Structure 1
Amino acid sequence: MEDGAVDRSEGFGERLLGLLLDRAQLMPPQLIAPLIAEEVATIGGRDVSILLQDYAQEVLVALPGRKLRVSQAQPIADSCAGRAFARVEVVEVKQADGIRMYLPLLDGSDKVGVMALTLDAVGDDDRRLLRRLATLVADLLVTKDAYTDQFFLARRREPMSVPAEIQWSLLPPLSMSVPQVAVAGMLEPAYRVAGDSFDYALNDSILHATVIDAMGHGLDAATAATIAIGAYRHARRAFISLPEKYAFMDNAISQQFGPDHFVTAQLMHINIATGELELVNAGHPAPLLIRDGQVVQQLESATTLPIGLGGELPPIKEHTLQQGDRVLCYTDGIIEERVEGGEPFGEERLIACVNRLGKEPSQGVRADLRRLSHTLKKQRGGRTSDDATLFMIEWHGGSADHLAELD
């Protein structure tokens, strides 16, 4: 190579990852697994498993496929694969025949699952190459998921209702994390949810978020939620204010259903650079502000009528977050569930549970919210007779500009 020339020769790692990239466009979904197994074999790996999170966020289930090792479901709360998934870290376990590696599969910052494989020995070059391979595998799984039912069927652990299918197809990724802000959401009951939903988008420095609860159950509730989220996205993309978003959604629901249906909602803007939060409440329980793991207040705001009932334009309530603050939104299915003795679960029990779990080391927003959701369900006697949704935002502030700069 001449002096001063740029080296564009292909190295081993580029050839390995490039094969996936070169074939990705035309690759049928069912051939992704065999190709991944072949790629791992080129670096001496074997017994490859692709583990995907089930819809209830309780276990990781093995994706079936030619040349893949299909094992039993691995609990997220208590397994090596679960630790790699929850903590977003590579886990290595020494075995008699080598080292078993568990690599988190991330689509952006949303956790898809875990790739597991066995190597005789592991060096830094192996770790670097496999981390990059896992990232590419996650992107392929998410892309090809739009073309097949194969991944959905692997993740589904029990029959799912039609309204629940509608709601899951409507959701954004369950989590997102950038240096300034992170979000995560949970829907229960995962296989029978109907009228609850959430949505968010990060547009420049503003995080837009909403949590909704459509009245009723079944297809009527799912239809109302679909219209409400569709109207919200349309209004959000028109860059209008929170009160105007409320009015647009209100008009969409009232035109479709008349006075017979309504949707409670919370609408928020968060400036991820400054922590300034704008809040509009339409008949929803007030969000909880969590600081240093403890609930410090309810974020009250003037409440207008639920969406669809023709309420007046709601006033905006402003709050200022501190770095590390979390905002927890929830639907009334969390606090209105009846516990032993027939009384509602209530806000006091919810806050006590948040505070108790907040004393434990954090594993990140997604893992902490999943743990909270499962703990709350256990405290409610395992019952979720109404939709019960949790949505959490964690604000850090600062800038991410350094990520766009090459070292």
Structure 2
Amino acid sequence: MDRSEGFGERLLGALLDRAHEMPPQWIAPMIAEEVGRIGGRDVTVLLQDYAQELLVPLPGRGLVVGEPEVITDSPAGTAFLRATAVEIPQADGVRMYLPLLDGSDEVGVMALSLESIDDDDRRLLRRLAGLVAEILVTKHAYTDRFFQARRREPMTVAAEMQWSLLPPLTMSVPQVAVSGAVEPAYSIAGDSFDYALNDDILHVAVIDAMGHGLDAATMATVAVGAYRHARRSGIDLAEKYAFMNRAIAEQFGPDHFVTAQMMDLDTATGHLQWVNAGHPAPLLIRNHEVARQLEGPTTLPVGLGGEHPVISEHQLQRGDRVLCYTDGVIEERDAEGELFGEQRLIRCVNAVERARAEEGIRAGALALSHTLKRERGGRTSDDATVLLIEWRGGVADHLTFLE
């Protein structure tokens, strides 16, 4: 076997070898240098802002820092939402927009210009973008610079806590996908969500801690921490509720509570189970419209000492989506003082589903969050969170062993 390096391996290998001990401030020049080796120029790295409305340029020597690009109306936004490369012909070549994917979560977009492009370039650039995304995510934990680039307005301490608590906003595998959005992005406090895919079971929780500000953020942090601890202990949904209930009651006393929705989805069969602890009932979306509410017995919110909860069940069909949301979505009042309500939410969901039928779950969750905000007249006096779950069925047939 010929084990000598080819051009692509040398380029990607050099980037990987150098990145391990590279200080965060040198990541941008290193990216620009590696892109230059394949004839690329005018390199821009765009990161999603916290409001999920713009792709903002990452500053750094060697990178072009222009104006932010609107996610919903730009070539960079198209690459971001659809997780696919976009090519724009120009007088002196082609402008490439490559999604930066950390697994299936979109970190941002890398843009660059080439005089010409062929399939070998496309393959190498796709792999280079994947490696750049992994490096950015790794270095993100070592520096504040990426946070600062993404932040477009002042953020509260509570929101800082919540963003640090959240998992990646999107996760997608062949059998199932999850995507969420939180509002108000820069002052979110009591809302949060969490998920984990353990073998064939997707575990999901959406929580809403009472109150506002730091008190709510602290309670949400304890609730999510207790949920994760219980989940990792391998106990069932009813036991998770009991564990979270004790954690909140012991820490905050009898006058504090957290509403919660906890779900387990068997990604092999589509069998969905959930416990509703004082939360709005989820919506079942089928064939791009709301089919029904997933109603079932509810128990008291976490912290109030409810009885052993009843576990609800439903069998999903392939392509079904389940929308979980917090009460801030439907309890907001518009400029005329009218309550937003569930029926208006359903109309918004149906409109977004029809308009975004051909796009992925990331685009769907983002469009829904933005649509709901517009319908509320831009008002978000309480936290408003949406989380979409899509069951696709099938098996992970893209994972094969090479002989």
What TM-score, normalized to structure 2? Answer: 0.99
Q: Give the match's secondary structure for 1:201.
A: strand
Corresponding residue number in structure 1 for 2:392: 396
Q: How does 1:137-148 map to 2 (within 5 A)?
A: 137-148=132-143
Cα separation, 1, equivalents of 2:192 and 2:296: 21
2:343 to 335, 340, 348: 348
2:218 equivalent to 1:239:
no
Aligned-residue offset at 1:95 = 1.3
CA RMSD of aligned residues (A): 0.8
Aligned-residue offset at 1:284 = 0.1
Q: Give the match's secondary structure for 2:399.
A: helix
Corresponding residue number in structure 1 for 2:374: 378
Aligned-residue offset at 1:25 = 1.3
2:246 to 242, 251, 259: 251
1:149 to 144, 149, 158: 144
- Which shifted more, 397-406 or 277-286? 397-406
Corresponding residue number in structure 2 for 1:199: 194
- Which shifted more, 335-344 or 202-211? 335-344
Corresponding residue number in structure 2 for 1:276: 271
**1:35-72, CA deviations, whole angstroms, 9 ceiling, x for partnerless residues?**
11111111111000000000010010000000000010
Cα separation, 1, equivalents of 2:199 and 2:399: 15
What TM-score, normalized to structure 1? Answer: 0.98
Cα separation, 2, equivalents of 1:32 and 1:251: 45
Aligned-residue offset at 1:98 = 1.6
**1:234-268, CA deviations, whole angstroms, 9 ceiling, x for partnerless residues?**
00000001000000000000000111210000000
Tell me, yes or no, if the aligned pair for 1:329 and 1:392 is still in contact at 8 Å.
yes
Cα separation, 2, equivalents of 1:387 and 1:49: 33
1:10 to 5, 8, 28: 5
Cα separation, 2, equivalents of 1:362 and 1:222: 36
Aligned-residue offset at 1:116 = 0.3
> Aligned pairs, how many?
402
Corresponding residue number in structure 2 for 1:336: 331
State the one-letter code of the partner of 1:372.
L
Cα separation, 1, equivalents of 2:44 and 2:90: 16
Corresponding residue number in structure 2 for 1:3: none
Q: Give the match's secondary structure for 1:384.
A: coil
User: Structure 1, unaligned stretches of length 5 or more?
Assistant: 1-5
Cα separation, 2, equivalents of 1:223 and 1:43: 49
Matched-pair identity in %: 71
State the one-letter code of the partner of 1:21.
L
Corresponding residue number in structure 1 for 2:110: 115
1:22 to 7, 17, 28: 17
2:359 to 351, 363, 383: 363
Cα separation, 1, equivalents of 2:78 and 2:271: 34
Aligned-residue offset at 1:401 = 4.4
Aligned-residue offset at 1:231 = 0.2
Corresponding residue number in structure 1 for 2:31: 36
State the one-letter code of the partner of 2:254.
P
State the one-letter code of the partner of 1:99.
V
2:125 equivalent to 1:130:
yes
Aligned-residue offset at 1:359 = 1.7
Which 4+ stretches in 1 moved above 4 angstroms?
A: none
Tell me, yes or no, if the aligned pair for 1:92 and 1:100 is still in contact at 8 Å.
yes
